[in-house]
Amino acid sequence: MSKNLVIVESPAKSKTIKKYLGNDFEILASYGHVRDLEPKEASVDVENHFKMKYQLIDRNKRHVDAIKKAAKTAESIYLATDPDREGEAISWHIYELLKNARLLKDKTVHRIAFNEITKSAVTEAVAHPRELAMELVNAQQARRALDFLVGFKLSPLLWKKVRRGLSAGRVQSPALRMIVERELEIEAFEVKEYWGISAELQKKRKFFAKLTEYNQQKLEQFSLINDAQANDALETIKQAANGSLIVDSIVKKQKRRNPAAPFITSTLQQDAARKLGFTTKKTMMLAQQLYEGIDLGKEGSVGLITYMRTDSTNLSQDAVNEIRMFITESYGSESLPSKPRVYKTKNQNAQEAHEAIRPTSAFRKPDEIKSALTQDQYKLYALIWKRAVACQMIHAVLNTVAIELVTENRAHRFKATGSVIHKPGFLSVYQEAKDEDAEATDEGTILPEVKEGEKITVNDITAKQHFTEPPPRYSEASLVKALEEHGIGRPSTYATIISTLQQREYVEVDKKRFKPTDVGRVVNGFLTNYFKKYVEYSFTANLEDELDNIAEGKLEWVPVLEEFWQPFIKQITDIDANVKKSDVTQEALDEDCPECGHKLSIRLGRTGRFIGCTNYPECKYTRALTKDGEEPQEKKAEPEIVPDRKCPSCESDLLIKQGRYGKFIGCSNYPNCKHMEPLEKPKDTGIQCPKCKKNNFVEKKSRKGKVFYACAGFPKCKNSFWYPPIEEECPKCHSPILLHKTTKKDGEQKVCPNEECDYVLNIESNPS
């Protein structure tokens, strides 16, 4: 039997660690937490200094039994769970179980932790073990007790005041509040019309300039608010321009752009959502796999990245030295700044002993290990690798130019801006992603060489109508960013917060954006009206800071719990006694019931909100609300009969019907006859599918009405794209087609549909 027993959390680590430590070490996994609070209120004894009663988690009993069996014969035990509070608590729980089973007599027990699963890190940890850090354990116990007490007291109150089966969480509730408040902003938003004027100019090539001054007055957003004003301005400017504009000033500058810091948990989740379309949950799952170890064939199992739950942008000196060496060898010494870059961590409570997320070796290039990874593992590893390498590279240099042009009478002024990359620097490796709703930039726009006083030909001057837009709903990336900015939760909890809100059906995802459900609105209303203090962003953030201070040994955990508990339980008692269910689930309307004359209200039912009489159950009058909370305007029209045609299956009339996904033609004899066909034949693009080489691409609509382009041979050939195909060969990989991609962020582009090819060509277009 092995003399040394090493206990880790995950079995995936075992292979990697075993390879480094050899046969004198037996590696066993706890499979996560081994103990949790008993599922009853007395598990946290609020009268006895919050003493906590734990029980063994049933699903992990056999793993604990295996650990106990191995511990009997081992001389030394190494607790090697993850290097954070949760990992420290798991080690402590394992220690307590072994101690209670009297298996630690005459044995040495060590706590070891490593930020990366590499030979040097693991052997260094074994050579320099430490004691269990009870400050970290107590911080985790305090968090668990808080979450348990809030859930055990607040959830039953929700059952009584809203609906059975509901629950509320300490950090999920402020996150829900964010989503609901954003939805209320959107609903209250008043759309305003405004107009912009731009000139299409010509010198060797087309370029565009926007009107900035009209009649010697600065043009504000709402200077032109209707078509009459815009058309008057257009005529005045065209007459003054008389076919040309004069270059009044040229300002050329060079600006530097520095690389972003290496990833921490939140920024990794944001960039993976923006660039790869990954959910936070998926990102963390893949990162865990990369951290624990991937079988690379001859090398065996290797941990590819450092620990992925971190809020520190710190890099070890060894890592910085290796990255700089890699940059010199791969990109040349000119791509390396004279001194290593040091990044300041924004979170004041970040543990600087931890590192940012980085590859365990910069020399392990993504493409060289691609065959050993799944497609998603490769994408995430490449993202982490590129960001880490780029963070130590030289800045990028951009040439910017701003040209101001005026009409001959100088009453009207236009401005054209452009920016091109002069020296790519770190941009040759990595560029940080932006949210879809981020403001567009002029990067990539090349303006012609002009001289002051030169007349530039005007091809056309046009006015374009615009409307103000409400703030966008939160995406996964923007919600994580907002949670981080408000200090709600910590890096390891963001994915759980988001998935919990979805599991409880408090929010739903619409076009990759979070929208509150009716139940979510009511629960949020209840919490913000009656527990306002506890869903305040500042309160939640301050509580997180106190947990951090417990972890650092600056605070004792029991007084923190006592300070929270007394006012919280008093609030629970008061609301239980004084608030009626109708106060929470009904919203009064200034409208009388048409049947009994009592007032109507918006109420919450099993399937969502509806309008009902406040005199229920004596009066049972109800009417529906649409999903957007407005009453339906009119009754559905009867299906229209298709003229001059009969059902080819049963000779009955054919009807134009409305289904979940739009209109279609169906048999009037349904359900006896189930014949159906599309209302219109799909539009043929005339471009052959390169996959099956038999059918053309046709224009179709998804279930949610979004247009996409698919092979007409579906379902035999499932080749499809969200953007229209172009019959042009990719100059890089020779794919027979390109896609015409249009986004708010990047404008119009030609892109290669081949996932392994990064060919992109910007298409000049008239700016909005």
**DSSP annotation string for 383-407:** HHHHHHHHTTSPPEEEEEEEEEEE-
What pLDDT score does 685 carry?
84
Q: Is 237 exposed, middle or buried (0-12, 13-18, 19+ CB in 10 A)?
A: buried
What's residue 766's pLDDT? Answer: 36
Q: Which residues pair with 640 in a beta bridge?
A: 656
239 confidence band (pLDDT: 50, 70, 90): very high
* Within this chain, domains 141-189+472-578 and 265-390 share the same CATH topology: no
Q: Which of 277, 236, 22, 265 is nearest to 126 (CA)?
A: 22
Statement: residue 628 has pLDDT above 70: no
Residue 526 is which amino acid? F
* Encoded tokens for 526: 């209840």
Largest CA distance in the chain: 98
* Separation of alpha carbons 16 and 634, rounded Å: 66
- Residue 694 scores a pLDDT above 60: yes
**How many other C-beta atoms can be found within 10 angstroms of the C-beta atom of residue 345?**
18
pLDDT at 162 over 50: yes
Q: What are residue 662's DSSP bridge partners?
A: 659
Q: How far apart are CA 316 and CA 325, in angstroms?
A: 14
Instruction: Name the 3-class secondary structure at 359.
Output: strand
Amino acid at 357: I
Compute CA distances 397 → 250, 255, 256, 336, 558, whole Å: 19, 6, 5, 14, 54
Question: 31-65: buried (b, 16+ CB within 10 Å) or exposed (e) per residue?
Answer: bebbbbbeeeeebbebeeebebebeebeebeebbe
- The backbone region for 207, taken as left when phi is positive above 0, alpha when psi lies in -120 to 50, beta otherwise, is beta
Q: What is the pLDDT of residues 13-27, one digit of tens each?
A: 888 898 899 889 999
Report the alpha-carbon distance of residue 766 to residue 768 in Å, rounded.
Answer: 7
pLDDT score of 123 more than 90: yes
Sequence-separated (6 or more) residues with CB below 8 Å from residue 341: 258, 259, 391, 392
Q: Would the CA dihedral through 540, 541, 542, 545 be positive or negative?
A: positive
Amino acid occupying residue 753: P
Q: pLDDT value at position 744?
A: 66
* pLDDT above 50 for 275: yes
Report domain extents, the chain. Answer: 4-132, 141-189+472-578, 193-258+396-467, 265-390, 581-624, 640-678, 723-768
pLDDT of 441: 60
What is the pLDDT at residue 627?
Answer: 46
Res. 671: pLDDT tops 60:
yes
Backbone torsions φ then ψ of 515, nearest 5 degrees: -130, 130
**What average pLDDT does this structure show over 636-661?**
78
Specify the CATH number for 141-189+472-578; select among 1.10.460.10, 3.40.50.800, 3.10.330.20, 1.10.10.10: 1.10.460.10
Residues 357-375, mean pLDDT to the nearest whole number = 95
The percentage of the chain sitting over the pLDDT mark of 90, rounded to a whole number, equals 55
In this predicted structure, which of 460-469, 476-485, 628-637, 658-667 has the lowest mean pLDDT?
A: 628-637
| Model pLDDT for residues 530-567, shown as the tens digit of each residue | 998 888 988 988 998 999 999 999 999 999 999 999 99
Q: Do you know the residue count of the chain? A: 768
Within a 13 Å sphere around the CA of 261, how many CA atoms are in the beta-carbon half?
19
Q: Structure tokens of 430?
A: 């990595």
The model's confidence at residue 12, banded by pLDDT at 50, 70 and 90, is: confident
Neighbour order of strands in the sheet with 25-29: 25-29, 4-8, 76-79, 108-111
- pLDDT at residue 765 greater than cutoff 60: no
pLDDT for 157 beyond 60 = yes
Binning pLDDT at 50, 70 and 90, where does residue 298 land?
Answer: confident
pLDDT above 80 (res 621): yes
Cβ atoms < 10 Å from Cβ of 162: 19
Q: How far is it, in rounded angstroms, from Cα 561 to Cα 554?
A: 15
Least confident of 169-178, 414-423, 608-617: 608-617
How far apart (Å, rounded) are the C-alpha atoms in residues 310 and 507? 27
Q: Residue type at 258? A: N
Cβ atoms of 176 and 163 closer than 8 Å: no
Tokens at 364, concatenated: 């392990």
Q: Is the pLDDT score of 472 beyond 90? A: yes
Q: How far apart are CA 757 and CA 665, in angstroms?
A: 41
How far apart CA 213 and CA 542 sit, in angstroms, is: 48
Which residue carries 């988690």 as its tokens? 57
Amino acid 609: pLDDT: 83
SS3 (DSSP) at 524? helix
Task: Evaluate whether 688 touches 695 at the Cβ level (below 8 Å).
Answer: yes
Q: Give CA separation, 324 vs 119, 340, 394, 395, in Å.
A: 21, 8, 11, 14
Which H/E stretch holds residue 659? Answer: strand 653-659
Rounded Cα distance, 750 and 725, in Å: 9
Reported confidence tier of residue 703, pLDDT bands at 50, 70, 90: low
Band of pLDDT at residue 299, cut at 50, 70 and 90: confident
Correct CATH for 4-132 of 3.30.365.10, 3.30.1490.190, 1.20.58.2030, 3.40.50.140: 3.40.50.140
Cis peptide before 671 (omega within 30 of 0): yes
- CA-based end-to-end distance of the chain: 73
- Report the alpha-carbon distance of residue 365 to residue 445 in Å, rounded: 32
Nearest to 104 by CA among 64, 75, 63: 75
SS3 label, residue 482 = helix
Top-confidence range, 274-278, 293-297, 381-385? 381-385
Please answer whether residues 461 and 199 qualify as being in contact, where contact means their C-beta atoms are separated by less than 8 angstroms: yes
Residue 270 has a pLDDT of 93
**235: Cβ contacts below 8 Å, ≥ 6 apart:** none
**Lowest-confidence region among 420-429, 650-659, 678-687:** 678-687
CB count, 10 Å around CB of 628? 6
Q: To the nearest whole percent, how much of the chain has pLDDT over 70? A: 94
CA distance 645 to 655: 10
pLDDT value, residue 435: 62
Lowest mean pLDDT among 106-110, 291-295, 442-446: 442-446
Per the prediction, the chain carries an average pLDDT of: 88
pLDDT band at 733 (very low <50, low <70, confident <90, very high): confident
Q: Comparing 695 with 269, which gets the higher pLDDT?
A: 269
534 carries an active-site annotation: no
The catalytic residue among 20, 95, 194, 307 is 307
pLDDT band at 768 (very low <50, low <70, confident <90, very high): very low
> Who contacts 589 (Cβ-Cβ below 8 Å, separation ≥6)?
599, 600, 601, 602, 611
- Stretch 575-588: mean pLDDT, rounded? 87
In DSSP terms, 653 is beta-bridged to 646
Q: Report the candidate in 736, 692, 739, 683 with the shortest Cα–Cα distance to residue 714.
A: 692
The partner residues of 608 in beta bridges, in order of sequence, read: 605
Q: Quickly state the pLDDT bin for 139 (edges 50, 70, 90).
A: very high
- Look at residue 563 in the predicted model and tell me its pLDDT: 93
What is the spatial distance between Cα 377 and Cα 366, in angstroms, rounded to a whole number? Answer: 10
**Beta carbons within 10 angstroms of residue 197's beta carbon:** 22
Q: What is the mean pLDDT of residues 389-401?
A: 95
Asked if residue 665 lies in contact with residue 648, where contact means CB atoms within 8 angstroms, the answer is: no
* Chain position carrying tokens 């000119």: 334
E strand or H helix at 202? strand 193-203
Q: How many CB atoms lie within 10 A of CB 371?
A: 9
Architecture of the domain made up of 265-390: Orthogonal Bundle (1.10)
Q: Find the range with the poorest average confidence among 171-180, 333-342, 374-383, 590-599.
A: 590-599
Q: What is the CATH number of domain 193-258+396-467?
A: 2.70.20.10
pLDDT of 734 higher than 90 = no
Partners of residue 76 on adjacent β-strands: 4, 108
**What is the rounded distance in angstroms from the CA atom of residue 173 to the CA atom of residue 168?**
6
* Rounded (10°) CA dihedral 156, 162, 163, 168: -50
Cβ atoms of 141 and 52 closer than 8 Å: yes
Four-residue CA torsion sign, 61, 67, 72, 78? negative
